[in-house]
Structure 1
């Protein structure tokens, strides 16, 4: 069984329990638009991630205090914050997301394996502005249903792809934010060339492209920025850094035509 299959099996069990125990609120809020904040920037924008652990790397920073880390990220110039809320594999919680929402004014991405509308309800209730939908994890009809459900709540949707077939599905959906994951979720191998190859098939004047995974040093950031990405999602590198501000600043390189 692949990493992804194991995670999704666990997630379906979690959703069954959630449907019996969670009552969505009727509170309406105005989400902050990641798309609007990132698309016109001249510097590569960093979605800084709060990530205690991962299936591939084990424990990364188990003692992190999410609100404190979020404040550091905001002060250091992060454009948005991603909060991993999966507990069995990434050791995150929805309370982490709520704490970050209280701490910062940046767009917040609920990073999880979303398979059901109730997870979107919960994300909105806890203060997320953006949800992640992973094409590899969803049947086509579920992808469309969940995308439009989140949009009905005025949330942004980061649609994650790893190959051409998944990209075609994202484009058919009309996604205006596409995350290109350089990590193969079946093997967890990383290749920045995935961003370079797929972005050639995207109209980046209208679609915000976020390059995800494997970006650890300025040359990595420059590589995906030159290809046309306007944002990067960085987790482990920042979670392990002793000087988060210094590391984050080196990754905020010029984008596209601004590259020297």
Structure 2
């Protein structure tokens, strides 16, 4: 079984357990009462003369590298905010990335005005309502694990709850799903899901096919100033970076380097 399928299967089991504790009807009612404090879209939309926007990620581990580093999530968020990150991405997937929904709740409580993206493997409407209750300003939808109809349904549901969507694509087929759903923010993941190799060329190739009115975000493998300079030249709005900041000896300096400041 492919790693992506394993993650999705584990997530299905967790959702089934959550549904036993709180039904979809209960979570729906509560979610509609929660107000969203700020907009992710506005924070990462780059104006013509502006530098690249940075979404800094709270990431404990990955299926490929295992545990990256032990650190205090709130202290890392403090560092992200003080160093000029435009938004924070929080991985909440528990089994393979050692994330937790509680990380997002804590960060949002401390920084209500900083846009926070919930990064997880989302395919069930229950997770959309759950994300709203956690305080997420935006969620990740991964084109590769959804069909066209699911993409459209989940996207429209998320927007109806006043949250934004970062729609992640890996190839032309995923882009087709994104355009079918009518998404406004497209994230290009530079990691090949079959080989797990990373190539920035993926962003350059797919960016050419994306309509000009979409916000484009480059994800995975961005670790140097030269990477960012190339992406900026190609018209990328924002970058999503976790590993290279977390593993840096000076995360604050790494953020400034990637922001080209």
> For the superposition of Structure 1 and Structure 2, which TM-score range results when normalised by the shorter chain?
over 0.9
How far 1:57 moved relative to its partner?
A: 0.8
- Paired with 2:258 and 2:19, the residues of 1 have a C-alpha distance of 40
Runs of at least 5 residues in structure 1 that lack an aligned partner in the other structure: 255-260
Residues 13-40 of structure 1 deviation map (CA, whole Å, 9 limit, x = unaligned): 1111121113522432124222222223
State how far apart, in whole Å, the 1-side matches of 2:101 and 2:45 are: 28
1:245 and 2:252 correspond: yes
Partner SS for 1:232: strand
Which aligned runs of 4 or more in structure 1 are off by greater than 6 angstroms?
none
Spell out the pairing of 1:14-163 with structure 2 (5 A cutoff).
14-22=14-22, 23-24=26-27, 25-26=30-31, 27-41=33-47, 42-61=50-69, 63-104=70-111, 105-163=113-171
**Would you say how many aligned residue pairs link Structure 1 and Structure 2?**
252
In the TM superposition, 1:152-231 aligns within 5 A as: 152-204=160-212, 206-231=213-238
Distance in 2, Cα, partners of 1:103 & 1:217: 30
TM-score (norm 1): 0.93
**Alpha-carbon RMSD:** 1.4
- Comparing 137-146 with 212-221, greater Cα deviation is found at 137-146
- Does 234-243 or 46-55 show the bigger shift? 234-243
Asked if 1 retains the 8 angstrom alpha-carbon contact of 2:152 and 2:182, the reply is: no
| Deviates further, 243-252 or 74-83 | 243-252
